[in-house]
Structure 1
Amino acid sequence: MSESDRSTRGDDRINPRQIVDAFFSETGWKPFRFQISAWNAYDRGQSGLIHSATGTGKTLAVWMAPILSWLKQNRDRSRWNPKRPPALRTIWLTPLRALAGDTEAALRQPLESIGLPWTLDSRTGDTKASVKARLLKKLPTALITTPESLSLMLTHEKLLEQLATTEAVIVDEWHELLGTKRGIQTELALTRLRRLCPNLRTWGLSATLGNLDDAIAALVGQSPSAPAKIIEGYRKKKLKLRSVIPKHIERFPWSGHIGTKMIPQVAEELERIESALVFANTRSQTEIWYQHLLAKRPDWAGQIALHHGSLDASVRRWVESGLKEGRLKAVVCTSSLDLGVDFTAVDLVVQIGSPKGAARLLQRAGRSGHRPDAVSHMAFVPTHAIELIELAAAKDAIERRELESKLFHHKPLDVLAQHLVTIAIGGGFTAASMLDEVRDCFAYRDLTDQEWTWVLDFVVRGGQSLDRYPEFKRVRIENDRYTVQDKRTIRMHRMGIGTIVSDAAMKVKYLKGTTLGTAEEHFLAKLNPGDRFLFAGRLVSLVRIQDNAAYVKRANGTPDTVPRWMGGRMPLSTELSDALRRKLEEAAEGRLVGPEMKALDGLFEIQKRWSVLPARDEFLVEKIKTRTGYQVFLFPFEGRLVHEGLAAVLAYRISKHQALSLSMACNDYGIVLQSPSELPIESALATNLLSPNGLEEDIIASMNSTEMAKRQFREIARVAGLVHAGFPGQNKSNKNLQASSNLFFDVFEKYDPENLLLIQARREVLQFQLEAGRMKAALERIESCRLLLTEPPKVTPLAFPLLVDKLRERVSSETLADRIARLQASLEKAAG
């Protein structure tokens, strides 16, 4: 309603719902039923979780609720005073600080349209120091922040009185935080806010989640002030998924053999539309695809761009604004554009390679047609033929709403230790009340008295083995109250708040000073001056490494290497693995549903002729002798991470039957064990080879679990405050941090073997790195399957990719591609 309308009526009393409906009308929409349901639940004092497809109005479903609440409490517009804005009412938590700017723009729109006298600010790691200083004095009516920044605010006692006026916390993209230590950091901060604001309402937003009950329990805690509500919005947004099928499907495919050969077809796809996002699974892939697209279409220079998390923030912002304003035809990106940013102009999403999960596929597809009534279009580009089965399986999983559940961390004591120091700095706590508070947090609901006592002792004196060292006496007890007084401890802790631990990174800069982004130290340390590599869409050569920065200059020619960032591997999800086995069963029965499965008809025909296509209740083992030795191929179809652990366990178990020289390889579909002498596979299968019994002991015996635990302990040591990454501009090297954490590991192992952080490190290795839980479930499933042991005359289509992975390890004067081409030709001739 305009000012002139109000003055004509001479009425300053407003109808809150009419005000909100008028805002929706201005934007060309009317409220959806699920949005109204969220507003009503909020009005009743409830917390909740909104689960709705990407681009269907979740933001307004939660944001308009506190606005309506304030309007009902302040119906007299004449009393609204922009010079005296309301105190803090709403905190909006975003998982990525890069999203804060876009979130602020989206939230500001209804405030300005309605004319609310609210203030809105962002407080993240990217916020200017002057703004941070201002916010320390006075918080806005609505604050956008990250889990780390919220925890940091809890260390400032003078802010607690302002935080206590909070009416609601809204957690955006809750599925991104769930199952991570950042999610648990968020849970702990929310639990603290509930103590400050007993009637706090907590709302989460999510697009792609399987275990909704656990998700809302983690969000609202163990004792919410009112029953929490799950609100389903648009569950089935209009979605069109199709594959860009290679013009020639090889019946003996191998991982990566299609890859950039699909550039011409992808260019044709991009030619037909105005704007697209081209998703790759790793930052290295984005660099390669960007260069190949430019080489194919040099006239697109300036019209296509690159976006990933290691690029400088200014570069990323330029790309994002180019997409919004329609200046860019395509952006080659990673998960850095999975979330949040609203690009309504995007016509098409291209997915390079399998995203390894139905939820991730759905999330990315939703970046196009980012409106409730729009159709989301995705074109899937396989990097090898068998990935077409994964897309067909993902389509089925999405249709059946079988989205991935999150695997939760269970009471990680490193995060709890950090949180206790945070609260001790921000005014302190008593042990009894803090224990009640912590147990109200879903992740620590069954924290034992012994564990609680141990963590308190750890933050007070460093635990049993660090008692002699003053720097680990961070918290002190006075009159039963735990506080921190030492200024150096406070400074160090504030700088180290957070749970994101990555390999040490160096800035990559031109000699003249322009920053391109960051690359991980382990990659840059291996380069010599003059080595050329792709970075930020450019070919550069290293000049020197100095002051924790890699200085580069423009280069010509071809790259010597491409940066490899850690964390790029995505495991095949449990749900997609099951859907994949279902599609293979259909193919075994002769039912090829959809263009992807029909395109693989020739491959399936040879697999069935030479061996078997297994049904879901069958487990296939192939025994083949090749020129390189005796091979046994096993096909659990459980994903690479599960297979890596299983391969080591199976090799260990076989070696107990007979001393053998064994080598292994695995992919998402199977495992190959190779030996120069015949493997006793029949006798091994007849005993305990595939038994789930004794799995954990065999994992520990078969792998370098101590070394893996040491690496995991480095993360735990940093989160718990045992080691510090250094001050700004004086960051410690990755090698230095690892050495420091290794020293603690060795000391604890020798003098304090029951140290709970040591036990946590070993548990996290088993649970998250080796996926021991999934390994056990896989073996239990396999144990109930009918065993199919075949001896094919030649390497089968399913086995061929595994054979290629073994070949990659061999040193040969021939190129890998030439060697494989000859193998393929030989197999094709045999297949007829």
Structure 2
Amino acid sequence: MNDVFVRPPPVAETLPALFAARHWQPFDFQCEVWEAIGHGQSGLLHATTGTGKTYAAWLGALLAFAEPPARAGATPPPLTVLWLTPMRALAADTARALQAPLAELGLDWTVGLRTGDTGSSERAAQARRLPTALVTTPESLSLLLTRADAREALGRVRVVVVDEWHELIGAKRGVQVQLALARLRQWQPGLMVWGLSATLGNLDHASDVLLAGLPDDRRVRVHGHTPKTLVIDTLLPDAAGRFPWAGHLGLSMLPHVVRELESTSTALVFLNTRSQAELWYQALLDARPEWAGQIALHHGSLDRAVRDWVEVHLKNGALRAVVCTSSLDLGVDFLPVERVLQIGSPKGVARLLQRAGRSGHAPGRASRVTVVPTHSLELVEAVAARNAVRAGRIEARESPDKPLDVLVQHLVTVALGGGFRADDLLAEVRTTWAYRALSDEEWQWSLDFVRQGGRTLSAYPDYRRAMPDEAGVWRVPDARLARRHRMSVGTIVSDATMQVRFWTRAGSGGASLGTVEEGFIARLAPGDCFLFGGRLLELVRVQEMTAYVRRAAGKRPSVPRWNGGKMPLSTELAEAVVDTLEAAQLGHLDPASTPELALIQPLVDLQARWSALPTRGTLLAETLHSREGWHLFLYPFAGRSVHLGLGSLLAWRLGQQVPATFSVAVNDYGLELLASAPLDWAHWLPRVLAEKRQRDLAADVLGSLNAGELSLRRFREIARVAGLIFQGYPGAHKSARQLQASSSLFYEVFRKHDPANLLLGQAEREVLMQELDAHRLADTLARLAALRLDLHALKRPSPLAFPLVVEFLREKLSTEKLADRIARMLAELEAAAGPVGDMADTDADATQVAEVARFGMADHVKSGGRSGGRSGASGRARRSGRPRKPSKPLPLL
């Protein structure tokens, strides 16, 4: 006898029972989102991490569109909800969270996952029928848009949720999302779009970008004001020292970190780069060998199986700690995590909040993040970050404006996905925020580029990627070009990577460990050792983009240096640092709420005694004469990217007035200009800062640097996104050298024969905006010009000047010689400064200095600037020279 099917009640009736079973009480902001979705509105939800943003959007979609199955075995509804996430790990976790309540609600909705990790069998099943809700990434969504039946497959989507919108908005991936949303909205005019975020500083802009093209009455913004305890504290060193340099505390903080982990059931230990994560993981294992199996390593270059294992065991509470990078930054739900340790400065308020939210990731639980300083000034940054969080000073994120490489890629994508008519697609593209001001000329150039590669490539069939047919519909004419495009969709561009595999006795490849950048392996010879995945490995051989390795022991390792480690101090945090230094000098910091004060006060006092402290109303500058030349130390506190552009710009502008050649060193707090002749900085500095040539700022900045090389490097990324160069088929990827050679050829051809090519202009703009942060540079120049110059002549480097001296020495000395030199300099400076109470024992520990210098625990930028000027009387052009670098260690006077 067959069972009688009883249709479950509607979601609205079963939802209270689900909440009661889980002891949940919906927050007001969740109810507000459910109501807005019920009325067909789109919006931006900004709420604290771990308070239920995911279920606010998901249950809203279920309430609006989910119907109980009419009969047993009924076909699940078609694709209704698209959920976009910026990371694959977050996608898998989100899919599990969406699936969890469906059975209890009596729904037959299916939830699927499609990312770069999705297997071929699952992709084949999705090609036949997509799930009701699909969790995917921007790149995978663009791939779906290349399907010939894209409109049929995606045209019934009712809700798109863009998770962690703050992570996407400021990059080309966010532009990719904007274009995809515009396409979906053409097929489904009633499409609702919801963005989720916890760390946005410019909500108006974020909302405008996400919801562009929608009328005001269909937009809402929801704020999740929920009680959430956030604890931000600092792991204090035994002694901080008065002369900081990048990483000088470094691994000396290891015993402190170990003690904290001993008293914590589960913790995440965040580092800013993968190489630092490798070193700290190995150091923790060396300190506590019995923790093997209880601590783990997680970063984006590790094999997927390794990452999955770590995430599963972190979820079930089997791990004491995971040493990780930004690979675990975002909203993955790890309930057992009690606290987060941030090794080194987070460099931004939003990043600190995001990482803090990985602990106590549930409503009602406290989130705790502890900053572990790697140099003395990071104690100041820790106080500044805590104050900035209290004041709500979170970094703004701006969407890129008209990146044409993304547009031409999208044109080929749409041509594959059913084709397009030019006028119709232009109107669609202009509904996005990024291309709202796209001109007719730029549009026509983009069409010409995908039709024949522009003026210079029309003779080559490989660049005829889309063209109109007799009916005026643009399509991709060649199956081979279609296949190449699908393999290249996306805007994430990185250097070529190599697989790392164990070498077996049979001479074949064993288990995969992950990937490492090709440039690192190229510097190794068979027999050399390196740390990777928490193991000491010996390189056996390199074959077909695979590095075969075996375990090694007792040999000194190298550490892979992945790209992407450059992380400048944000404007908000930099301003908070200046405020903190000023408050410390004036005695406005409360010792009870600022335990760092006792450690930073000696540095503050000595800086004030030998020079002065920066304030909001002054621009601190210091001069020093040594046998190497005349030094200017300037402290704008604008971050290293701005300081690189600013130092080179100042040298360039000054070089137009007096014949001089400069070398430049920068860090997050300031910059150093080293000149071969004395200069009257009190006279010249205000002039070059206040120079009324803002319209020429871009030309001056590019002229002061090796602009051609910077633009060429940026052009390689643009060329890849625009489809000019192809990275190769699976198993036959082109090397980084081949890709660079190809992009260099295109760059030179365009520069010589098609100088009006818009991709060249885009490369120059991206150098200015992204590498040199030109907007922030312009704001910094305007701010500095309005400040009172506070100029001091030094007898020896001040505490703020010392780290810039060390940055300069890194250029010339090996790590061992650098360690010796730093130890000697510190001893001399401490002797000159005299004892300070309990801190009289802060002479450099040579062993610690050598260890940190050898491993390079902190990121540092090696940069140079050059300047050429005119001879004042004759007006003859003086030839620009390369940056002058010290030939001998910098002496202390």
Aligned residue identity for 2:61? P
Q: Which residue of 2 is the match for residue 723 of structure 1? A: 725
TM-score by length of 1: 0.96
Contact 1:654–1:680 under 8 Å retained in 2: no
Aligned residue identity for 1:22? A
Is 2:552 aligned against 1:561?
no
**Bigger CA drift: 694-703 or 261-270?**
694-703
Structure 1 counterpart of 2:45, from 11, 25, 50:
50
Q: Which residue of 1 is the match for residue 327 of structure 2? A: 336
Is 2:407 aligned against 1:416?
yes
Is 2:486 aligned against 1:483?
no
Contact 1:97–1:126 under 8 Å retained in 2: yes
Contact 2:496–2:517 under 8 Å retained in 1: yes
Q: Which residue of 2 is the match for residue 673 of structure 1? A: 673
What is the CA–CA distance in structure 2 between the aligned matches of 1:433 and 1:29, rounded to whole Å? 48
- CA 1:691 to 1:322, structure 2 compared with 1: closer, same or farther past 3 Å? farther
Is 2:64 aligned against 1:69?
yes
1:426-445 matches, cutoff 5 A: 426-445=417-436
1:357-376 matches, cutoff 5 A: 357-376=348-367
Aligned residue identity for 2:822? I
What is the CA–CA distance in structure 2 between the aligned matches of 1:723 and 1:618, rounded to whole Å? 49
Q: Which residue of 2 is the match for residue 381 of structure 1? A: 372
Structure 2 counterpart of 1:157, from 148, 163, 167:
148
Q: Which residue of 2 is the match for residue 32 of structure 1? A: 27
Contact 1:425–1:485 under 8 Å retained in 2: no
What is the CA–CA distance in structure 2 between the aligned matches of 1:154 and 1:562, rounded to whole Å? 40
**Bigger CA drift: 608-617 or 478-487?**
478-487
Q: Which residue of 1 is the match for residue 638 of structure 2? A: 638
Aligned residue identity for 2:480? R
Task: State the 1:12 CA deviation.
Answer: 5.2
Aligned residue identity for 2:518? E
Contact 2:164–2:196 under 8 Å retained in 1: yes
- CA 1:236 to 1:754, structure 2 compared with 1: closer, same or farther past 3 Å? farther
* SS of equivalent residue, structure 2 residue 205: helix
1:238-277 matches, cutoff 5 A: 238-277=229-268
Contact 1:93–1:147 under 8 Å retained in 2: yes
TM-score by length of 2: 0.90
- CA 1:661 to 1:11, structure 2 compared with 1: closer, same or farther past 3 Å? closer
Contact 1:582–1:616 under 8 Å retained in 2: yes
Q: Which residue of 1 is the match for residue 619 of structure 2? A: 619
Is 2:488 aligned against 1:496?
yes
Task: State the 1:692 CA deviation.
Answer: 6.4
Task: State the 1:140 CA deviation.
Answer: 1.2
Contact 1:222–1:445 under 8 Å retained in 2: no
* SS of equivalent residue, structure 2 residue 101: helix
Is 2:17 aligned against 1:22?
yes
Write the deviation string for residues 651-696 of structure 1: whole angstroms up to 9, x where unpaired: 2233334333432211100111123432442332253245463322
Aligned residue identity for 1:616? R
Structure 2 counterpart of 1:706, from 702, 705, 708:
708
What is the CA–CA distance in structure 2 between the aligned matches of 1:342 and 1:584, rounded to whole Å? 37
Aligned residue identity for 1:532? C
What is the CA–CA distance in structure 2 between the aligned matches of 1:611 and 1:547, rounded to whole Å? 58
Contact 2:38–2:60 under 8 Å retained in 1: yes
Structure 1 counterpart of 2:450, from 431, 456, 459:
459
Contact 2:174–2:399 under 8 Å retained in 1: no
In structure 2, the gaps of 5 or more residues are 505-509, 835-893
Is 2:439 aligned against 1:448?
yes
Identity of aligned residues (%): 52
* SS of equivalent residue, structure 1 residue 585: helix
Aligned residue identity for 1:50? L
Is 2:157 aligned against 1:166?
yes
Contact 1:21–1:30 under 8 Å retained in 2: no
Structure 2 counterpart of 1:227, from 218, 222, 238:
218
What is the CA–CA distance in structure 2 between the aligned matches of 1:39 and 1:814, rounded to whole Å? 62
* SS of equivalent residue, structure 1 residue 731: coil
What is the CA–CA distance in structure 2 between the aligned matches of 1:225 and 1:590, rounded to whole Å? 49
Task: State the 1:758 CA deviation.
Answer: 0.7
What is the CA–CA distance in structure 2 between the aligned matches of 1:756 and 1:213, rounded to whole Å? 30
- CA 1:154 to 1:225, structure 2 compared with 1: closer, same or farther past 3 Å? farther
**Bigger CA drift: 674-683 or 723-732?**
674-683
Q: Which residue of 2 is the match for residue 507 of structure 1? A: 499
* SS of equivalent residue, structure 1 residue 687: helix
Aligned residue identity for 1:664? V
What is the CA–CA distance in structure 2 between the aligned matches of 1:235 and 1:749, rounded to whole Å? 55
Q: Which residue of 1 is the match for residue 768 of structure 2? A: 766
Q: Which residue of 1 is the match for residue 543 of structure 2? A: 546
Q: Which residue of 1 is the match for residue 863 of structure 2? A: none
What is the CA–CA distance in structure 2 between the aligned matches of 1:157 and 1:581, rounded to whole Å? 56
Q: Which residue of 2 is the match for residue 596 of structure 1? A: 596
* SS of equivalent residue, structure 2 residue 370: strand
Aligned residue identity for 1:705? A
Is 2:402 aligned against 1:402?
no
Aligned residue identity for 2:472? D
Q: Which residue of 2 is the match for residue 536 of structure 1? A: 533
Write the deviation string for residues 492-515 of structure 1: whole angstroms up to 9, x where unpaired: 111111111100000111103111
Task: State the 1:341 CA deviation.
Answer: 1.6
What is the CA–CA distance in structure 2 between the aligned matches of 1:610 and 1:690, rounded to whole Å? 28
Is 2:121 aligned against 1:119?
no
Q: Which residue of 2 is the match for residue 794 of structure 1? A: 796
Task: State the 1:28 CA deviation.
Answer: 1.6
Contact 1:45–1:226 under 8 Å retained in 2: no
What is the CA–CA distance in structure 1 between the aligned matches of 2:367 and 2:18, rounded to whole Å? 26
Task: State the 1:25 CA deviation.
Answer: 1.7
What is the CA–CA distance in structure 2 between the aligned matches of 1:135 and 1:384, rounded to whole Å? 51
* SS of equivalent residue, structure 2 residue 537: strand
What is the CA–CA distance in structure 2 between the aligned matches of 1:642 and 1:686, rounded to whole Å? 18
Contact 1:199–1:225 under 8 Å retained in 2: no
What is the CA–CA distance in structure 1 between the aligned matches of 2:487 and 2:814, rounded to whole Å? 50
Task: State the 1:68 CA deviation.
Answer: 0.7
Task: State the 1:520 CA deviation.
Answer: 0.4
What is the CA–CA distance in structure 2 between the aligned matches of 1:560 and 1:130, rounded to whole Å? 40
Is 2:87 aligned against 1:92?
no
What is the CA–CA distance in structure 2 between the aligned matches of 1:778 and 1:377, rounded to whole Å? 33
Task: State the 1:118 CA deviation.
Answer: 1.0
Write the deviation string for residues 603-662 of structure 1: whole angstroms up to 9, x where unpaired: 111111111112101000001123543221000011111111111122223333433343
Structure 1 counterpart of 2:168, from 152, 164, 177:
177
Is 2:181 aligned against 1:190?
yes
**Bigger CA drift: 405-414 or 819-828?**
819-828
Aligned residue identity for 2:48? A
Contact 1:539–1:559 under 8 Å retained in 2: no
Aligned residue identity for 2:566? R
Task: State the 1:720 CA deviation.
Answer: 0.7
Q: Which residue of 1 is the match for residue 629 of structure 2? A: 629
**Bigger CA drift: 806-815 or 167-176?**
806-815
Task: State the 1:17 CA deviation.
Answer: 2.5
Give the CA RMSD over aligned residues.
1.8
What is the CA–CA distance in structure 2 between the aligned matches of 1:400 and 1:80, rounded to whole Å? 55
Is 2:381 aligned against 1:390?
yes
Write the deviation string for residues 692-732 of structure 1: whole angstroms up to 9, x where unpaired: 63322221211111111111111111111111001110001
* SS of equivalent residue, structure 1 residue 688: helix
* SS of equivalent residue, structure 1 residue 114: coil
Structure 2 counterpart of 1:140, from 128, 131, 154:
131
What is the CA–CA distance in structure 1 between the aligned matches of 2:278 and 2:500, rounded to whole Å? 15
Aligned residue identity for 2:498? M
What is the CA–CA distance in structure 1 between the aligned matches of 2:206 and 2:763, rounded to whole Å? 25
Write the deviation string for residues 720-776 of structure 1: whole angstroms up to 9, x where unpaired: 111100111000111111111111111111111111111111000100011111111
